[in-house]
């Protein structure tokens, strides 16, 4: 037996007494004890804000991303240890894979987001807004890391994924975290956190762990703190409604269990690939993690004309699913996390049984392989049937957080949409159909009541991640009963931990603050040419003012010959009547190509290559006789890590290409991306 510890204030400590005993879900044997009693949560949160927050906020997004990548690699090397311990929660190898490698995958995914952020500790949001006639006063937005702490209250079903998918986001944003996993399975979270702390990859104070009940943990949250809660809607709403949460305007993200629906499309008739996919997907969602997923399918909607075929096929698959000790060959479903969960599932399933028919399974008996059903937290998969779901509506209100789902018929797709929406807001819904129009009609009709919609058919089945798998680059959350929150979501999730602030001033001042060149800012002439400077030497705003070129008819003809672009506006002056053009016009891409010829310094130097073009647009027609010049300005710099010891030390530089004519008016704008060598090759 072991006493699992909290990690707070830079040390591992045990709480006072015993708040909770933890048990092996398969054998019922006692694993250990946990407690967080006696902990001063005010000190814990303040330690995170100060000791952990300061170094995180100083790091750039690039540095934070590299930190997350290193942490992911560190944990991946130790994953087999986590699999061994995960089995004590009743999880099969596949169940554990979702929790362990799915969680680590969140670290990798969020690390990759660094490419979407500037090389700064804060984010520059959107584009500048002109606020004055002469351009000397503009506005912009920046988003700064909140100087608070993220308090994550997680559910029992994903002790690793639940932590990693959340801290990946707040750490990427530059905000420290205090993680409070469920006391029932926190022994697994504790093992992972010990490896994280021992790695020394995170700044001290950026991650703290509470393994016990954590009573009072959110009593001390302040305005810049963020609370996330994953679990029952009832508990989540109770916490979110605490007066001090509202009084201090504390951000509270609620992700609650919901009555998710899977719909079999009318075109997915028996005998089609999609029909078979539906049966496989639904049966998997009933049994994976023993149904203990907030995204599991609770309501199964099928056309009434073949509901009997669906029922028969589902029963056949469920009957072949072996329940028991995951270490036994052939076992496909393990135990629930605790006997308390068994009790709760049975209570709610008993309520559902009053208004619908049980067509498979038992509330009291389960055939278990390799274990003693009376000792472990086992529960039979159960399939209900509700022939009148518009009348017998308990199914849209009562959730069994286990391997329980209800089959119900619909007469038309509109009925299916109405039934799906009767869940009062869900994390996810899915439709299995070979017909894209049917998929579109469902998504547009039901989507506003679901945080995510999966469309499954033969074309995507091999690579589909499935109904129940939230992805780190997509939002996870949902309206109504699901809590109304969002977490993850790629860049969207990171922005959740940042405070958007409007800034106003002269373009040069805004350029300094944003570290991005703003039109109207000072443009000191580059000397030497910017292509002769190394990454560290380049200064935001410095500009090359090029020589001029007068466009001729021959330029247009020659470019058409080279490019093959013989669009009439360039080549046929007799076809311009009724168009916006006065006479034959130069190709937009000729204008950019000629601009490159003007701004490029051709000799070998620090510039390695040009690898991209962004935000290109042509703002004024260029006719033969126009004289073009270019203002070529350092717009933004982004550091880049070396991929190996032999890699060239370099950074990314964005240049603003402003092409103007003899009147001084801009005719074309673009941003080019270049790789520029660094001075110090050891970086």
Question: Which letter does DSSP use for residue 524 in this model?
Answer: P
- Compute CA distances 660 → 326, 542, 614, 656, whole Å: 70, 18, 18, 13
Number of CB atoms found within 10 A of residue 312's CB: 13
Average pLDDT of the residues in 96-111: 95
pLDDT digit string (tens) for 386-444? 999 999 999 999 999 999 999 999 999 999 999 999 999 999 999 999 999 999 999 99
If residue 675 lies in a helix (H) or strand (E), which one and from where to where?
A: strand 666-677
Cα 507 to the center of its chain, rounded Å: 34
Kindly write down the DSSP assignment for every residue of 384-399, as one continuous string.
EE-S-TTT-GGGGT--
Structure confidence at residue 683 as a pLDDT band (50, 70, 90): very low
pLDDT of residue 681: 58
pLDDT at 91 over 50: yes
Helix (H, G, I), strand (E, B) or coil at 353: coil
Structure confidence at residue 82 as a pLDDT band (50, 70, 90): very high
Q: Is 255 a catalytic residue?
A: yes
pLDDT at 231 over 90: no
What's the rounded Cα separation, in Å, for the pair 261 and 428?
7
What's the rounded Cα separation, in Å, for the pair 98 and 82?
12
Q: Is 582 exposed, middle or buried (0-12, 13-18, 19+ CB in 10 A)?
A: exposed
Q: Are 412 and 302 in contact (CB under 8 A)?
A: no
What is the share, in percent, of the chain residues with pLDDT greater than 70? 99
Q: Are 229 and 236 in contact (CB under 8 A)?
A: yes
Residue 483 Rama label (left phi>0; alpha psi -120 to 50; beta): left
Q: Is 636 a catalytic residue?
A: no
Q: Are 286 and 445 in contact (CB under 8 A)?
A: no
Give the domains, in start order, of the chain with CATH numbers. 41-257+492-498 (3.40.605.10), 260-467 (3.40.309.10), 523-677 (3.10.129.10)
pLDDT at 461 over 50: yes
- Please name every residue paired with 358 in a beta bridge, in sequence order, or none if there are none: 384
Question: Which letter does DSSP use for residue 525 in this model?
Answer: B
pLDDT of residue 645: 85
Q: pTM for this one?
A: 0.92
Number of CB atoms found within 10 A of residue 675's CB: 18
What's the rounded Cα separation, in Å, for the pair 544 and 508?
17
pLDDT of residue 682: 44
370: nearest Cα among 332, 320, 343: 332
Q: Are 659 and 593 in contact (CB under 8 A)?
A: no
What's the rounded Cα separation, in Å, for the pair 40 and 48?
13
Number of CB atoms found within 10 A of residue 554's CB: 9
Helix (H, G, I), strand (E, B) or coil at 557: helix
Structure tokens at 436: 């894209």
What is the share, in percent, of the chain residues with pLDDT greater than 90? 91
pLDDT at 1 over 80: no
pLDDT at 238 over 80: yes
pLDDT at 512 over 90: yes
Sign of torsion over alpha carbons 580, 586, 587, 589: negative
In 318-462, DSSP assigns E strands to 322-324, 331-333, 357-360, 368-369, 382-385, 404-410, 429-432, 453-456
Residue 324 Rama label (left phi>0; alpha psi -120 to 50; beta): left
Catalytic residue among 190, 266, 294, 487: 294
Catalytic residue among 255, 274, 281, 285: 255
Average pLDDT of the residues in 640-662: 92
Helix (H, G, I), strand (E, B) or coil at 212: coil
Q: Are 288 and 98 in contact (CB under 8 A)?
A: yes
pLDDT digit string (tens) for 173-209? 999 999 999 999 999 999 999 999 999 999 999 999 9
Structure confidence at residue 257 as a pLDDT band (50, 70, 90): confident
Structure tokens at 650: 């370099």
pLDDT at 75 over 90: yes
Structure tokens at 649: 């030390």
């Amino acid at each position: 037996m072991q006493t699992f510890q909290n990690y707070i204030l830079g040390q591992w400590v045990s709480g006072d007494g015993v708040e909770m005993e933890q048990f092996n879900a398969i054998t019922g044997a006692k694993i250990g004890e946990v407690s967080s009693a006696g902990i001063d949560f005010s000190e814990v949160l303040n330690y995170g804000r100060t000791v952990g927050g300061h170094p995180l906020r100083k790091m750039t997004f690039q540095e934070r991303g590299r930190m997350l990548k290193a942490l992911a690699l560190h944990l991946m090397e130790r994953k087999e240890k986590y699999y061994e311990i995960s089995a004590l929660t009743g999880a099969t190898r596949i169940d554990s894979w979702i929790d362990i490698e799915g969680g680590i995958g969140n670290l990798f995914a969020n690390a990759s987001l660094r490419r979407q952020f500037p090389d700064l500790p804060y984010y520059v949001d959107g584009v500048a807004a002109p606020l004055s006639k002469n351009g000397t006063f503009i506005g912009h937005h920046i988003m700064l890391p909140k100087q608070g702490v993220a308090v994550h209250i997680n559910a029992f079903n994903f002790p690793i994924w639940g932590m990693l998918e959340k801290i990946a986001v707040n750490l990427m944003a530059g905000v420290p975290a205090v993680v409070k996993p469920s006391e029932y399975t926190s022994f697994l979270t504790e093992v992972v956190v010990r490896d994280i702390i021992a790695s020394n990859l995170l700044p001290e104070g950026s991650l703290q762990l509470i393994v016990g009940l954590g009573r009072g943990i959110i009593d001390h949250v302040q305005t810049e703190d963020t609370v996330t809660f994953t679990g029952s809607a009832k508990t989540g709403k109770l916490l979110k409604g605490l007066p001090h949460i509202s009084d201090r305007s504390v951000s509270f993200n609620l992700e609650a269990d919901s009555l998710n629906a899977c719909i079999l499309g009318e075109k997915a008739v028996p005998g089609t690939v999609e029909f078979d996919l539906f049966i496989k997907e639904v049966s998997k969602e009933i049994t994976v993690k023993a149904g203990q997923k907030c995204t599991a399918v609770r309501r199964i909607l099928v056309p009434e004309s073949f509901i009997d075929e669906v029922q028969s096929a589902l029963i056949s698959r469920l009957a072949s699913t072996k329940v028991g000790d995951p270490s036994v060959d052939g076992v496909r479903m393990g135990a629930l996390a605790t006997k308390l969960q068994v009790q709760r599932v049975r209570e709610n399933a008993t309520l559902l049984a009053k208004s619908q028919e049980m067509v498979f399974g038992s509330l009291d008996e389960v055939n278990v392989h390799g274990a003693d059903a009376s000792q472990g937290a086992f529960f039979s998969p159960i399939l209900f049937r509700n022939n009148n779901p518009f009348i017998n509506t308990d199914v849209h209100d009562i959730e069994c957080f286990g391997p329980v789902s209800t089959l119900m018929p619909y007469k038309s797709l509109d009925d299916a949409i109405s039934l799906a929406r009767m869940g009062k807001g869900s994390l996810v819904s899915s439709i299995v159909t070979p017909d894209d129009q049917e998929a579109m009609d469902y998504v547009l009709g039901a989507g506003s009541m679901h945080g995510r919609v999966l469309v499954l058919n033969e074309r995507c089945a091999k690579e589909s991640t499935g109904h129940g798998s939230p992805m780190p680059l997509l939002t996870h959350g949902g309206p109504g009963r699901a809590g109304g929150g969002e977490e993850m979501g790629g860049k969207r999730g990171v922005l959740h931990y940042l405070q958007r602030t409007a800034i106003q001033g002269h373009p040069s001042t805004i350029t300094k603050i944003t570290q991005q060149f703003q039109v109207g800012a000072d443009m000191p002439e580059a000397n030497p040419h910017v292509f002769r400077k190394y990454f560290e030497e380049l200064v935001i705003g410095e500009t090359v003012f090029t020589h001029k070129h007068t466009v001729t008819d021959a330029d247009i003809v020659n470019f058409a010959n080279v490019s093959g672009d013989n669009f009439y506006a360039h080549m046929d002056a007799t076809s311009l009547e009724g168009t916006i053009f006065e006479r034959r016009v130069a190709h937009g891409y000729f204008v950019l190509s000629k601009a490159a010829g003007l701004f490029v310094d051709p000799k070998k130097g620090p510039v390695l290559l040009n690898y991209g073009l962004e935000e290109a647009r042509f703002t004024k027609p260029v006719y033969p006789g126009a004289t073009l010049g270019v203002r070529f300005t350092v717009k933004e710099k982004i550091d880049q890590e070396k991929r190996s010891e032999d890699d060239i030390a370099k950074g990314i530089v964005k240049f603003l290409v402003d092409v103007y004519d003899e009147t001084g008016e801009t005719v074309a704008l673009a941003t080019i991306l270049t790789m520029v060598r660094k001075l110090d090759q050891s970086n």
